[in-house]
Amino acid sequence: MASSILVTRRPPGTALDILSSAGSIDLWEPDEIMLRVELVRRVAEADAVYCMLTDHIDSELLDAAPRLRVVSNMAVGLDNIDLEACTSRGIAVGHTPGVLTEATADLAMALLLGAARRIGEGIDYVRAGSWGEFRLDLLLGQEVHSSTIGVVGMGRIGAAVARRAAGFGMSILYSGPSRKPAIEQELGAQHHRLDDLLRLADHVVITAPLTPETHHLISEDALRLMKPTATLTNVARGPLVDTAALVDALQNRLIASAALDVTDPEPLSSDHPLLSLPNCIVIPHLGSATLKTRAAMADLAARNVVLGLRGKPMEACANPEVYG
């Protein structure tokens, strides 16, 4: 019998063509997140699921999916997937590292620069018709060149951010569970405990994955360690930051500004306190949002399905132990 591949959102580019070489496609057509009840119902017949970061792949779902052998996330983050539950059932989990690293690092720099140089406030000011004569004291921000960046989580994306920062003449600090000797050698990056990084950095950029250990890593206490002139940029996952504590820190100017591509909750309602703060830029989870990168992610996730269904190692597998 041909394999059945459940696709929870129409992917861009050629992904569906790639998938159709490995089985029949059950596509959720509406241009919106697949309803949980539909996902649970339709996964019952699926040999593979091609899913988005908004689909929760948990034990309950897997219990409803007796045939499932492959889960392919069209994202690098895996916090929407219960990896252990997949592994214990022998289900291979694919994701999309590498292809989105540079695009996400570009966006991280855009946000860092935007927070430091008050780009959001500048846009608001001009749009509001407030632009009068040139003022020497208008919207003065923080230096980026020659300052110190603190990269929280030196994975692929963190390293790509650090390389860009080196181009701005920044000193590079990083935190995370493991030392990265190659980056230390290449960029002179220094590993620090998170507390020390927060005390020393002028611009803190979060690129760490969301895990139980990193949930609310940037807590009220953490924000209190930062310089009052510091900026905080998050391109990872919203729950790494305690949102209420961040609102408080921005309101009370414990830090200068923040720029968030990801939030907790996500999406934010239009009356959320974060959106009323002049010193906070929020954009709607756009880290990998370029035409080329999204197409590359869609194709990689599709190739992962094809290889997984053939029982071959995926190009990017999060639990290769299933191949035992």
Task: Confirm or reject binding of residue 12 to ligand GLV (CB under 6 A).
Answer: no
C-beta closer to ligand GLV: residue 95 or 227 = 95
Instruction: Point out the catalytic residue in the list 285, 310, 315, 321.
Output: 285
Query: Smallest distance from the beta carbon of 67 to ligand GLV, in angstroms?
Result: 26
Give the interface segment with ligand GLV, choosing from 30-38, 95-103, 272-280, 313-321 (CB under 6 A): 95-103
Nearer residue to ligand GLV within complex by CB, 267 or 311: 267
Instruction: Clarify whether 186 is annotated catalytic.
Output: no
Could you tell me which stretch among 38-46, 93-101, 116-124, 315-323 binds ligand GLV (CB under 6 A)?
A: 93-101
Based on the shown chain and the rule CB under 6 A, indicate whether residue 240 belongs to the binding site for ligand GLV. Answer: no
Does residue 287 interact with ligand GLV by CB under 6 A? yes
Give the residue closest to ligand GLV by C-beta. Answer: 155
313 binding ligand GLV? (CB under 6 A): no
101 near ligand GLV, judged by CB under 6 A? yes
By beta-carbon proximity to ligand GLV, the closer residue of 52 and 138 is: 52
What are the strands of the beta sheet with 24-27, ordered from one edge? Answer: 24-27, 4-7, 48-51, 70-73, 92-94
**Pairwise CA distance, residues 290 & 305, whole Å:** 23
Token reading at 212: 């139980």
Q: Does 157 bind ligand GLV (CB under 6 A)?
A: yes
Contact status, residue 154 vs residue 183, Cβ threshold 8 Å? yes
Best CA proximity match to 36, nearest among 16, 53, 57: 57
Please report whether residue 155 would count as binding ligand GLV according to CB under 6 A.
yes
Active site residue 285: yes
Is residue 288 a contact point for ligand GLV (CB under 6 A)?
A: yes
Report 61-90 residues binding ligand GLV (CB under 6 A). 75-77
CB of 275 to ligand GLV, least distance (A): 20
Scanning the structure block, which residue is given the tokens 């990269």? 151
Catalytic residue flag (residue 216) = no
Under 8 Å between Cβ of 38 and 28: yes
Per-residue contact string for residues 175-214; x = within reach of ligand GLV by CB under 6 A: --------------------------------x-------
Contact residues for 161 (Cβ-Cβ < 8 A; gap 6+): 105, 108, 109, 149, 151, 205, 207
Among 39, 93, 100, 241, binds ligand GLV (CB under 6 A): 100
The site that binds ligand GLV (CB under 6 A) totals a number of residues, namely 14
Query: How many whole angstroms separate alpha carbon 305 and alpha carbon 61?
Result: 18
Nearest to 111, CA basis, from 285, 231, 259, 229: 259
Give the nearer residue to ligand GLV in terms of CB position, either 192 or 285: 285
Burial of 267 (0-12, 13-18, 19+ CB in 10 A): exposed
Active-site residue, from 69, 118, 237, 303: 237
Binding segment toward ligand GLV, per CB under 6 A, in 29-37, 151-159, 173-181, 183-191: 151-159
What amino acid positions are annotated as catalytic residues? 237, 266, 285
Give me the residues that bind ligand GLV (CB under 6 A), please: 53, 75-77, 97, 100-101, 155-158, 207, 287-288
